[in-house]
């Protein structure tokens, strides 16, 4: 990230992040509730209030530090709890819960692109900057969270279709908790995966903006 990324840019980024991650997690909770599980509701997560879903370190400080360092951002909120035994459609229900968040981010990015394409020539540079940050951030949230590595959201979709031996391996990775996440961050940052993700981000942004 170059020196032009100043305090105002950071404020815009954090505001967009708070909203986008909050809505992402809320949609996990709403989908779980719709599928018959009240766990998220019982724990106060059935809300659009982003403060109920965010973690100070992994939702705010970590992505800001990575962006200021010129590295691909990694985002993580507090996982929305759900009881797979109470969810309709078994593993497919869990998959719906998993992809609800990323698909919401993609929808928000598409909405921002529509606003830009419709009014881009008549709105201020400041609003265009906010719109661009919001669009890029939501595309990044969509692409990153759809990576099928436990405990990312994309892994729920893979669980629904993977054979049992693969599911067992994924379960063991997920049980690794923070250590599994740490190892994945290292792989993401120091291999070609980060660049691949950025290339996919850019391709989706170009497609949406036209």
Q: Tens of pLDDT along 158-210?
A: 999 999 999 999 999 988 877 887 788 778 777 888 889 989 999 999 999 98
Q: What is the per-residue pLDDT for 2?
A: 43
Catalytic residue among 25, 43, 164, 174: 25
Pick the residue with more confidence: 57 or 159?
A: 159
The confidence score (pLDDT) of residue 79 equals 83
pLDDT over 60 (residue 47): yes
What's this model's pTM, rounded to 2 decimal places?
0.86
Structural domain boundaries in the chain: 7-209
Nearest-angstrom CA–CA distance, 57 and 77:
9
Query: At residue 51, does pLDDT exceed 90?
Result: no
Asked if residue 3 has pLDDT above 60, the reply is: no
Start-to-end CA distance of the chain, whole Å, equals 25
Catalytic annotation present for 25: yes
Q: Span 17-37, mean pLDDT?
A: 92
Q: For residue 151, is the peptide bond before it cis, meaning its omega torsion is within 30 degrees of 0? A: yes
């Amino acid at each position: 990230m170059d020196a032009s990324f100043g305090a105002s840019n950071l404020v815009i980024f954090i505001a967009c992040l708070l909203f986008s991650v909050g809505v992402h997690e809320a949609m996990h909770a709403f989908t779980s509730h719709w599928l018959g599980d009240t766990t998220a509701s019982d724990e106060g997560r059935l809300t659009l209030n982003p403060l109920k879903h965010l973690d100070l370190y992994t939702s705010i400080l970590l992505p800001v530090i990575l962006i200021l360092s010129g590295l691909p951002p990694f985002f993580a909120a507090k996982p929305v709890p759900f009881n797979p035994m109470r969810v309709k459609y078994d593993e497919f229900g869990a998959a719906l819960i998993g992809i609800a968040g990323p698909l919401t981010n993609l929808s928000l990015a598409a909405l921002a692109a529509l606003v830009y394409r419709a009014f881009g020539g008549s709105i201020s540079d400041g609003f265009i900057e906010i719109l661009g940050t919001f669009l890029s951030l939501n595309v990044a949230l969509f692409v990153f969270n759809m990576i099928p590595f436990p405990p990312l959201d994309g892994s729920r979709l893979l669980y629904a279709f993977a054979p049992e031996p693969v599911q067992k391996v994924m379960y063991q990775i997920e049980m690794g908790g923070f250590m599994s996440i740490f190892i994945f961050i290292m792989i993401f940052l120091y291999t070609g995966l980060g660049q691949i993700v950025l290339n996919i981000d850019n391709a989706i942004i170009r497609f949406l903006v036209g």
